[in-house]
Structure 1
Amino acid sequence: MNKDPLLLLHGVTMSAAAWDSVVPLLADEFDLIVPTAAGHRGGPRIEGVATIEHLVDVTEQLLDERGVRTAHIAGNSLGGWMGIELARRGRARSVCALSPAGFWTTGAADETAPTGKLRRTKRLADAVHRIAPLPLRSAVVRRLIFNDVAVHGDRLTATQALGAVQDLVDCSAAYDILSTTESVAPLGTLPCPITLAWSAKDRIFPPSVNGAVARRRIPEARYVEIPAVGHVPMIDDPALCAATIRTAAGLTEQERADHS
């Protein structure tokens, strides 16, 4: 049986590795496409200033190269924003946007506070990453370091945590993306089913602030809150992320049984 394509898009300063714990849970049901975004460690290089529009262009080109006209799309943070923009371009069968970025008023506190926090995190990682391997062996340290993006950062292994720090340090597009004047434009009639799946304990884009903006910008989208997870829910609860993505893609119980 042919499987539907599912494109998984990670957040800013991360890489395709952000999905490592989710991929095995979805691989039997979908034909997975899991790229690293342009300007991120392991992804295509960017010449000049990195923009969201350009990252979406590169991802759309990847779909073209793979011969995929439309795909189910799930994305976290920046990846959720990119998924919505791909839907706007007619490339999505469904979108599951996990705490998507871009739902802010440019220059206002709902934008400057979270992006400012992420820029400070990037500068700190740039300064101390050479000594990171030793402290990251401690689960307590991992939980503290990843506190802004996960409730249980200690669930990352030391190797995963070090990889995430290296992704952050080697993301050449980070400062451009975190200083963007772009935002998600309102979307009235949906081009496909869109789920805004907000992390209930998101410290970067709180559901009461940025989630509220999202509901106003895309009023026809299905809005749900994922309990007990932080901004990068793949760290806290991969199984719940996979289940949320399945639901957003409209995969029925019978279809899941057919793939098992």
Structure 2
Amino acid sequence: MTRLTALLSALCSAFLLTVAAHADEVQVAVAANFTAPMQQIAAEFEKDTGHKAVLVFGATGKFYAQISNGAPFEVFLAADDATPARLEKELLTAPGTRFTYAIGKLVLWSAKEGYVDGKGEVLKKGEFKHLALANPKTAPYGAAAVEALKKLGVMEGIQPKFVQGENIGQTHQFIASGNAELGFVALSQVFKDGKVTSGSAWIVPSKLYAPIRQDAVVLAKGRNKPAAIALVDYLKTDKARAIIKSYGYEL
């Protein structure tokens, strides 16, 4: 081994030790619709920074209640912009850290090929027993689904067929398992790299529901945590944004 090679090896080892010494964990509450992209982003984040993101997925409304009651989350990726803004007003966030990381899209989806047509006419025909959607009181995608059904003028006839999931993840499971023939989920759950990955779907026109702006924020418990700040900054990188876009979100 030459002296230069030995020196480079020593410097590399020192660098790795420094990274390891400063690596940390950050506790992250993540809206269920963002499960797949966030798992991918977290893996890249750990690879690039040494920090580990410990992810918990669920409904935005439930996370609000948990954070308000002292849950140990340090970063929150919500399915809306209203909940992080509310936490900000209640002084439960690190000032100046809230931003929109994605704009979500609603999709009517069935695990069955050819079941959902390209114009959503299946809703007007009503020839199904169950339609799944997330609880509109706690999940923004559920609220968007109700808004769309009302604008389509089919809410009254379909409401008795509702099967409500606790969050959008459970809603997807209801449909994937066949317990509901179809339902409303986040496009990101059934979309990757420009196409719907399984079943049949109708991407609900954005004019039928208010924009689903999804905000991220560093919570009060993470204000002095380098890993928390690093994660929020990482979500703004080209690499993270490319992953987000690949799941059908707008930026």
TM range (shorter): 0.3 to 0.5
TM-score w.r.t. structure 1 length?
0.34
Q: Larger % of strand: which?
A: 2
TM-score w.r.t. structure 2 length?
0.35
Higher RCO structure, 1 or 2 (CA under 8 Å, sep 6+): 2
Task: Report the structure number with the largest CA radius of gyration.
Answer: 2
